[in-house]
Amino acid sequence: MRIANTIVLTLLVAAGLACGYSSKSTPATAGTTPNISTLSPNNASHGSTGVVLTVNGTNFSTNATVNWNGTALTTTYISAQQMMTTIPNADLETAGTAAVTVTNPGTSGGQYGGGTLPETSNSMTFTIN
């Protein structure tokens, strides 16, 4: 009886390993990279308040974010070609430039990994006069 139990246990372990039940995970793959074509407006006077920035381009995901000098801003998704955000007043206090990008977040791959990596667009320059 002991030999039969050992054989059954060995077969169950072998079947479990053959079915892909292991600790290996699949690495994430590249996500969809957004692309910015225009900013509207692309400039504002220093000291401006309540400036709404429209970012036009392609491949924007529904949960993408507009970044201002690398900091994510509260973003409204309009379409896969358009996003909107309000530039914080503090960021418009002094003259200079700001880098605007859009980031599509990565997706979870679940228990065995996979999913996609976050991807960030090309940078466009916003000028503060």
Per the domain annotation, does 91 fall within a domain? Answer: yes
DSSP helix/strand/coil, 34: coil
Predicted pLDDT at 69: 97
Look-up: residue for tokens 């667009």?
A: 121
Predicted pLDDT at 31: 78
Per the domain annotation, does 16 fall within a domain? Answer: no
Per the domain annotation, does 87 fall within a domain? Answer: yes
Residue by residue, pLDDT tens for the chain (129 residues) are 666 555 656 655 555 555 555 556 677 676 789 999 999 999 999 999 999 999 999 999 999 999 999 999 999 999 999 999 999 999 999 999 999 999 999 777 766 666 778 899 999 999 999
Per the domain annotation, does 6 fall within a domain? Answer: no
Predicted pLDDT at 17: 53
Per the domain annotation, does 56 fall within a domain? Answer: yes
Predicted pLDDT at 80: 96
Predicted pLDDT at 13: 57
Task: Give the domain extent around 113.
Answer: 26-128
Q: Report how many domains make up the chain.
A: 1
Which CATH number goes with the domain that contains 60? 2.60.40.10
Per the domain annotation, does 5 fall within a domain? Answer: no
Per the domain annotation, does 74 fall within a domain? Answer: yes
Per the domain annotation, does 43 fall within a domain? Answer: yes
